[in-house]
């Protein structure tokens, strides 16, 4: 454990930020699982709201710094492929 007061504060802040980043990434993974489950089923009309929510979450995570810009773009591209029906990648 650090002895310097500012470093103790920095450790606490880093932990808070790590958990917030983790919430974003976890939410994105959850939406991907939902989108893939809906896209593989018959009810493809339900996929559009999930896709929209996923893209919004990705954009927020990129803006916040939880995801790198290129990583966010790659995830949005993957989501669009899944929505279009040609997403055979895992």
**What pLDDT, on the 0 to 100 scale, is given for residue 28?**
97
Binned at pLDDT 50, 70 and 90, residue 1 comes out as confident
Q: Is 67 helix (H, G, I), strand (E, B) or coil?
A: coil
Element (H, E) at 32: helix 5-40
Residue 70 has pLDDT above 90, yes or no: yes
Q: Is 77 helix (H, G, I), strand (E, B) or coil?
A: helix
């Amino acid at each position: 454990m650090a002895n310097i007061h500012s470093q103790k504060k920095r450790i606490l802040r880093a932990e808070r930020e790590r958990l917030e980043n983790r919430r974003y990434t976890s939410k994105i993974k959850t939406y991907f699982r939902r989108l893939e489950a809906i896209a593989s089923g018959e009810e493809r009309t339900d996929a559009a709201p999930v896709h929209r929510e996923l893209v919004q979450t990705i954009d927020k995570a990129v803006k916040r710094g939880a995801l790198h810009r290129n990583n966010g773009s790659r995830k949005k591209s993957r989501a669009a492929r899944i929505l279009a029906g040609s997403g055979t990648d895992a």
